[in-house]
Structure 1
């Protein structure tokens, strides 16, 4: 069974390379299933944060095949676009379409933003929603966060050179000048991200290879490279194409 408390020291990258996207989906699903069942046994709930992009595809294919007590899942978002749920840019909307009716979860199990608010109001509202599930006097500690990485090295809605990279005073921050549209978003901040028990980056395809090298081999301090759990485990799950430029550092 997968545990986020393996032999690696906290924050050290566990780089796992699989053959192709199909294998990546199977391995990602296994990791999520194991962590969910450990969390449910330990804490009675599994609190997971999801990202959009290609992860939506991976999870929509893989999650229906896992065995878990779905009623114990609470699904949060690492970031979200402040758009109507019906909009194609809504991360919640994508997962709602992909998962509800496919796995036995309800809309209430998704902890989602209020898209009728401004980004600033939506961020404050999301903090209040988080406080229902996490103690208000300490940083939220998610059981698992699933992250992606953009071609500029951003993760969540934390972009290179943006002031939010240094935000430490709030759990969730608004962004109204995102360099990637739509401009209006909310995002978890680095203190919350790095407080998670387990963080997984999952990516496939040759288009990811250069940025994977810049983060994992060159060690550039781009946003994805600043994901470094303080008391947890970090897993990079890559297919052969995404890992083709770092083969010399893969255990």
Structure 2
């Protein structure tokens, strides 16, 4: 079974998420001088906005100036738009940190979907010049009630992509329809993946992903990083119905 922790509240979930990001950053900066982080949007932005800046202030070894931050998917809207993942992180999370902050890789949202995907993949390859497939130290992902992660949706053709690291959608079933997303080859090349989820509406799909024979029709169930299975941290509602093995208790919860 995957490594799963369940927390009594979203606040405790957010604190655990921030702590795990800081721990990964501290380790990466110490070992290689750089921490490469991929972030998904949605409710994760608010969790990290509240908890990550104070956690970083207590961990000087994490050194955000040595971070490379990319976004696991992006809506093709301006950075100032409320639907922009990169814009939300820039304004709500990283604006709270003193300069110099991280280096960012932003999707060029003024381009069309195909051109934006090509440009973003080129940015990634330049940022990881010695790797055929970029290997992020950590990807922080969410999951939707339908089992989607990033902008990889059940039944979509992008789930079959084997060559491109970045794909694009003109037909996202969740608006807005124009999007750019990391594909499974890139997600699965990462050194570590952390899923975070809150809300009882996600409990049924979380059960289908985390059972012994995961439902591979669900995109989130297909994410398998290089180091093994993803780690999952859940608010109590999202963890309803899970049968956790002994030792899978929350970090600092019950």
The separation in 1 between residues aligned to 2:81 and 2:130, in whole angstroms, is 32
The answer to whether residue 231 in structure 2 is matched with residue 235 in structure 1 is: yes
- Is the alpha carbon distance of 1:108 and 1:65 closer, same or farther for their aligned partners in structure 2, counting shifts above 3 Å? closer
Matches within 5 A, 1:195-206: 195-206=189-200
**Contact kept in structure 1, 2:192 and 2:226, CA below 8 Å:** no
The answer to whether residue 204 in structure 2 is matched with residue 182 in structure 1 is: no
**Contact kept in structure 2, 1:76 and 1:111, CA below 8 Å:** yes
Offset at residue 104 of structure 1 (A):
2.5
- Is the alpha carbon distance of 1:37 and 1:233 closer, same or farther for their aligned partners in structure 2, counting shifts above 3 Å? farther
The separation in 2 between residues aligned to 1:126 and 1:14, in whole angstroms, is 31
The answer to whether residue 192 in structure 2 is matched with residue 219 in structure 1 is: no
Match for residue 140 of structure 1 among 134, 138, 142: 134
- Is the alpha carbon distance of 1:164 and 1:136 closer, same or farther for their aligned partners in structure 2, counting shifts above 3 Å? farther
Give unmatched runs, 5+ long, in structure 2.
249-254
1:244 matched residue in structure 2: 240
The answer to whether residue 82 in structure 2 is matched with residue 88 in structure 1 is: yes
2:48 matched residue in structure 1: 59
Give unmatched runs, 5+ long, in structure 1.
1-11
**Contact kept in structure 2, 1:153 and 1:224, CA below 8 Å:** yes
Match for residue 122 of structure 1 among 93, 104, 116: 116
The separation in 2 between residues aligned to 1:248 and 1:34, in whole angstroms, is 24
What do the CA deviations read for 1:226-246 (whole angstroms, capped 9, x no partner)? 111233451000122211111
Runs of 4+ aligned structure 1 residues displaced above 6 Å come to none
1:210 matched residue in structure 2: 204
| Aligned alpha-carbon RMSD (Å) | 1.7
1:162 matched residue in structure 2: 156
- Is the alpha carbon distance of 1:204 and 1:23 closer, same or farther for their aligned partners in structure 2, counting shifts above 3 Å? same
The separation in 1 between residues aligned to 2:14 and 2:39, in whole angstroms, is 15
Q: What SS does structure 1 have at the residue aligned with 2:140? A: strand
Give TM-score scaled by structure 2 length: 0.89
What do the CA deviations read for 1:18-50 (whole angstroms, capped 9, x no partner)? 221111111111111110011111111111000
- Is the alpha carbon distance of 1:137 and 1:41 closer, same or farther for their aligned partners in structure 2, counting shifts above 3 Å? closer
Match for residue 13 of structure 2 among 14, 18, 24: 24
The separation in 2 between residues aligned to 1:233 and 1:136, in whole angstroms, is 25
Offset at residue 99 of structure 1 (A):
2.1
What is the number of residues matched between the two proteins? 240
Give TM-score scaled by structure 1 length: 0.90
Offset at residue 213 of structure 1 (A):
1.1
